[in-house]
């Protein structure tokens, strides 16, 4: 029987240079989409997929992230006194059960693969999810829940996959795909940020993974790859070479690249418009801006 996935690693130790100067003092994951930090979207998605243990790989300067998941007795007492039950309910979504959350330090930003490896002792011999909070995925069924369901059938390693424009493909890890079975694709190879002429496809790996403990073993021995960083892609590619249990999964949903400025702005518009309390005023504003732009052309 396939072991259930109950642990997730959130690698949040990157420098976030694309959002400087903001990320000089604020972790990227605390940046806010409408009224919730990016990390809250990731945690909600993980909970919906049945994750019970949340492992953050952090670095210096990320204390705002730890505080975010702490209780806030003074604020809560004040809200209670004022009878603000709706706000108290919102705050509840940010608190974690005792012992459900762990923080590990990645002392140097040596790459995503290295960040994941830092959590190896907490993972032990179990399958685990990896979620990159700057990929925000909107959809009816949360992306990780779709993948966990697929994993219950197949076991093995599953990476979220999505077609990207050819001209942008080289910014991603790309899949060399074999057979397709509905949303599941068998993966023959994987390469991180290839030169355009070496790209096996324009099917990119997005920041959701379900991985076997073998990936940790592979990370034990692989060396720095693309960009001088230890790449998670290389550890998964090494697994393809010795087993046939690596799959791509074409998830249903819309992915926003909130690690980039343009992607973050697009997500802000989409999530703002999706909110009932904001929709009317916000859509009117967007229409008026679009009309002004058109008139100016």
Q: Quick check: 255 and 137 in contact, CB under 8 A? A: yes
> Cα–chain-centroid distance for residue 8?
10
Q: How far is CA 94 from CA 30, 38, 79, in A?
A: 12, 12, 15
Per rule CB under 6 A, count of chain residues that contact ligand UTP: 20
List the interface residues with ligand UTP, window 14-43 (CB under 6 A): 14-18, 28
Residue choice 134, 234, 239, 257 for contact with ligand UTP (CB under 6 A): 134
Under the binding rule (CB under 6 A), the answer on residue 120 touching ligand UTP is no
Looking at beta carbons, which residue is closest to ligand UTP? 14
Residue choice 42, 79, 132, 175 for contact with ligand UTP (CB under 6 A): 132
Pairing of β 184-192 and β 173-181 = antiparallel
Pairing of β 101-105 and β 203-211 = unpaired
In the complex, the smallest distance separating the C-beta of residue 111 from ligand UTP, rounded to whole angstroms, is 5
Closer residue to ligand UTP in complex, CB, 17/125: 17
Q: How far apart are CA 203 and CA 137, in angstroms?
A: 17
Residue choice 8, 39, 46, 57 for contact with ligand UTP (CB under 6 A): 57
Closer residue to ligand UTP in complex, CB, 15/274: 15
Measure CA of the first residue to CA of the last residue in the chain; give whole Å.
61
Radius of gyration of the chain (CA): 20
Residue choice 34, 110, 184, 270 for contact with ligand UTP (CB under 6 A): 110
Provide the binding-site residues for ligand UTP, judged by CB under 6 A.
11-18, 28, 57, 106, 109-112, 114-115, 132, 134, 259
């Amino acid at each position: 029987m396939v072991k259930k996935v109950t642990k997730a690693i959130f690698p949040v130790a990157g420098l976030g240079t694309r959002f400087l100067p903001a990320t000089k003092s604020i972790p990227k994951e605390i940046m806010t989409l409408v009224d919730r930090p990016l990390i809250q979207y990731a945690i909600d998605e993980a909970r919906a997929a049945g994750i019970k243990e949340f492992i953050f790989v952090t670095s210096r300067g990320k204390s705002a992230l730890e505080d975010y998941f702490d209780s806030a007795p003074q604020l809560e007492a004040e809200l209670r006194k004022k009878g603000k039950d709706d706000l108290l309910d919102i705050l509840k979504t940010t608190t974690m059960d005792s012992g459900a959350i762990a923080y590990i330090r990645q002392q140097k930003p040596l790459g995503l693969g290295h960040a994941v490896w830092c959590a190896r002792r907490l993972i032990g011999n179990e399958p685990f999810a990896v979620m990159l909070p700057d990929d925000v995925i909107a959809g009816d069924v949360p992306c990780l829940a779709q993948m966990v369901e697929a994993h219950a059938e197949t076991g093995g390693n599953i990476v979220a996959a999505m077609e990207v424009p050819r001209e942008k493909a080289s910014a991603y890890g790309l899949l060399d795909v074999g057979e397709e079975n509905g949303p599941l694709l068998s993966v023959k190879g994987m390469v991180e940020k290839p030169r355009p002429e070496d790209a096996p496809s324009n099917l990119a790996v997005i920041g959701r993974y379900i991985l076997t403990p073998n990936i940790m073993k592979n990370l034990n021995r692989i060396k720095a790859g693309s960009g001088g960083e230890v790449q998670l892609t290389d550890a998964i590619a090494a697994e393809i070479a010795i087993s046939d249990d690596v799959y791509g999964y074409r998830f249903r949903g819309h992915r926003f690249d909130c690690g980039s400025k343009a992607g973050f702005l697009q997500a802000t518009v989409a999530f703002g418009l999706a909110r009932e309390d904001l929709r009317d005023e916000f859509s009117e504003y967007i229409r008026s801006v679009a009309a002004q732009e058109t008139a100016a052309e």
